[in-house]
């Protein structure tokens, strides 16, 4: 009812062109039938495959008006006020003749009230038509509507299966309905059917599959990647202070308990030496919160057409909001906000769009940004209030290096007893976690080539031969560590 009311207000405001962007085409079309009756206006619907059909009279489509230029000519010459819904007209908006024809109809609106409705999944209106247009956004189902859809699917399954009830874990059912927010009515029904018809039950096992399917439906820009491999903090050596900070806040996203008057956490910036585990830590945030992890690839956002890059960013952020609760990971954010070859104007617009979203976002999207070069980040992004905290992931100390070695030995099935971890940790001062892992990988090849078991001496030789980043890039690494001291919170 709310959708019909808002659309009616828009039509009565005498907008010559109304743009409706929606993936739920059938539901959008259904809104216009009662509206045309209520407003006493003719209703016609056009598709390039069927032509123009007078829907309110139930008349068959006019095949001779299938071509875009013909249907616009027909509408322009008609003296009958009405609503003309053009479905999937977006490919033709690059034709200057068709754009001019639409403008001719819009200019004559006061003489004959003809409203053109452009209904498509995605549509960018040419500049010359924008002043004659208004946009309508089809509402998404709320909690009550989602509940009714899931219940109706359950009734369908029961009817088809001899009266047998759907088995549902109450907590899994609650989480499933929560995860269905942000989808259209038809998509909610499709995913509910997928969960129920699979085995006649709603269980915790349905939730990961649902999140993946939801992401595929929502990600229009292709800039978001659904990360399947989320780490556990048990797989991350060190970072004790960061782990404690996150553990205090995980209840906001896990739904374990009410948080009263506490502000919802916004996100964190992870700064540190390359290879020290920023990416692994970002993945582990998702693991500790028990939510999906989405990775934003800035490289796919940028588009040569004016305004498209900002639009892609907004769509990616809207997708993240629809996936909430979730963790949104922006990897190497400094490269995304200062891409090579981009003009300064574009960079500022992208930054502005991101900062606006960070300030206004009310959804349960926890932002994790990682950066290697703090000097490349604009001051507006790192000022207090943008992120809850800025953590610095430094080169691991001896105790943490020992834990990292132990983790990677266990991961590869190597007996811990065969290695002197204390000696190896002391000998690998200045190594990052990634460099320690690579040393173990190299030892496995050496041992395999020599037909012997990996041991302390082989690994020690590999460590002594290697030149870690802290040595090769000593000046840059030391400058970063000096900058971080006193300005950031140590992650360990």
pLDDT in tens, 100-110: 999 999 999 98
Q: How far apart are CA 190 and CA 275, in angstroms?
A: 42
Residue 446: the pLDDT is 86
DSSP character for 166?
P
Bridge partners, residue 282, by sequence: none
Residues written for the chain: 492
Mean pLDDT of 200-228: 75
| pLDDT tens-digit series, residues 162-175 | 888 888 888 888 87
Angle of CA points 468, 336, 313, to nearest 5° = 145
| Three-state secondary structure call for residue 366 | strand
Helix (H, G, I), strand (E, B) or coil at 112: coil
Comparing 2-136 with 226-393, is the CATH topology the same? yes
3-state SS class at 195: helix
> Which residue(s) pair with 457 in the sheet?
none
- The arrangement of secondary structure in 398-472, i.e. its CATH architecture, is Orthogonal Bundle (1.10)
Distance of alpha carbon 96 from the chain centroid: 35
Beta strands per DSSP E along 137-213: 167-168, 201-202
List the structure tokens of 12. 């009565």
CA-CA distances (angstroms) from residue 397 to 65, 237, 358, 370?
75, 10, 34, 21
The residue ranking higher by pLDDT, 233 or 73, is: 73
Average pLDDT on 261-290 reads 83
How much is the pLDDT for 234? Answer: 60
The domain limits of the chain are: 2-136, 143-217, 226-393, 398-472
Distance from C-alpha of 341 to C-alpha of 343, rounded to nearest angstrom: 7
How open is the CA angle 489-365-227, to the nearest 5 degrees? 90
Flag the least confident range among 188-202, 211-225, 318-332.
211-225
Q: What CATH superfamily is the domain 2-136? A: P-loop containing nucleotide triphosphate hydrolases (3.40.50.300)
Return the CATH number of the domain spanning residue range 226-393.
Answer: 3.40.50.300
85-99, 288-302, 465-479: segment of lowest average pLDDT: 288-302
Q: Are 411 and 444 in contact (CB under 8 A)?
A: no
Cβ(267)–Cβ(367) below 8 Å: yes
Span 310-358, pLDDT tens digits = 778 888 888 788 778 888 998 888 877 754 544 557 777 888 888 888 8
pTM: 0.64
Tokens of 402: 């020992």
Indicate whether 17 pLDDT > 90.
yes
């Amino acid at each position: 009812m709310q959708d019909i009311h808002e659309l009616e207000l828009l039509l009565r405001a005498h907008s010559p062109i109304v743009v409706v962007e929606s993936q739920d085409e059938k539901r959008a079309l259904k809104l216009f039938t009662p509206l045309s009756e209520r407003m006493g206006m003719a209703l016609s619907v056009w598709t390039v495959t069927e032509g123009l059909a007078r829907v309110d009279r139930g008349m068959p489509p006019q095949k001779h008006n299938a071509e875009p230029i013909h249907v616009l000519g027909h509408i322009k010459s008609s003296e009958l006020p009405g609503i003309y819904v053009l479905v999937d007209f977006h490919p033709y908006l690059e034709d200057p003749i068709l754009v001019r024809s639409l403008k001719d109809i819009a200019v004559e609106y006061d003489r004959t009230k003809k409203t053109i409705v452009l209904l498509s999944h995605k549509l960018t209106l040419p500049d010359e038509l924008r002043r004659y247009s208004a946009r309508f956004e089809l509402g998404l189902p709320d909690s009550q509507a989602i509940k009714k859809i899931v219940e109706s699917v359950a009734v369908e399954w029961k009817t088809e299966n001899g009266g047998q009830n759907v088995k549902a874990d109450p907590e899994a059912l609650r989480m499933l309905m929560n995860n269905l927010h942000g989808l259209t009515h038809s998509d909610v029904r499709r995913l509910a059917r997928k969960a129920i018809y699979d085995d006649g039950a709603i269980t915790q096992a349905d939730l990961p599959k649902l999140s993946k399917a939801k992401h595929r439906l929502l990600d229009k820009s292709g800039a978001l990647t659904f990360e399947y491999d989320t780490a556990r903090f048990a797989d991350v050596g060190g970072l004790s202070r960061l782990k404690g900070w996150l553990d205090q806040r995980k209840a906001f996203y896990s739904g374990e308990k009410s948080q009263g008057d506490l502000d919802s956490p916004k996100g964190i910036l992870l700064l540190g030496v390359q290879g020290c585990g920023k990416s692994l830590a970002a993945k582990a945030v998702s693991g500790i919160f028990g939510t999906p992890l989405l990775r934003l690839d800035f490289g796919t956002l940028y588009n040569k057409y004016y305004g498209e890059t900002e639009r892609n960013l907004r769509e990616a952020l809207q997708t993240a909001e629809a996936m909430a609760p979730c963790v949104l990971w922006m990897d190497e954010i400094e490269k995304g906000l200062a891409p090579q070859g981009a003009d300064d104007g574009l960079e500022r617009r992208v930054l502005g769009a991101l900062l606006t979203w960070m300030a206004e976002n009310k959804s349960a999207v926890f932002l994790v940004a990682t950066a290697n070069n703090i000097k490349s980040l604009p001051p507006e992004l790192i000022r207090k209030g943008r992120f809850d905290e800025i953590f610095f992931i430094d080169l691991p100390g001896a105790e943490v290096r020992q834990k990292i070695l132990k983790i990677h030995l266990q991961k590869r099935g190597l007996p811990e007893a065969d290695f002197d971890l204390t000696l190896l940790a002391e000998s690998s001062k200045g190594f990052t976690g990634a460099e320690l892992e690579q040393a173990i990988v190299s030892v496995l090849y050496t041992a395999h080539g020599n037909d012997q078991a990996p041991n302390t001496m082989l690994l020690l030789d590999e460590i002594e031969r290697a030149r870690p980043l802290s040595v090769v890039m000593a000046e840059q690494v030391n400058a970063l560590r000096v900058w971080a001291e006193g300005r950031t919170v140590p992650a360990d």
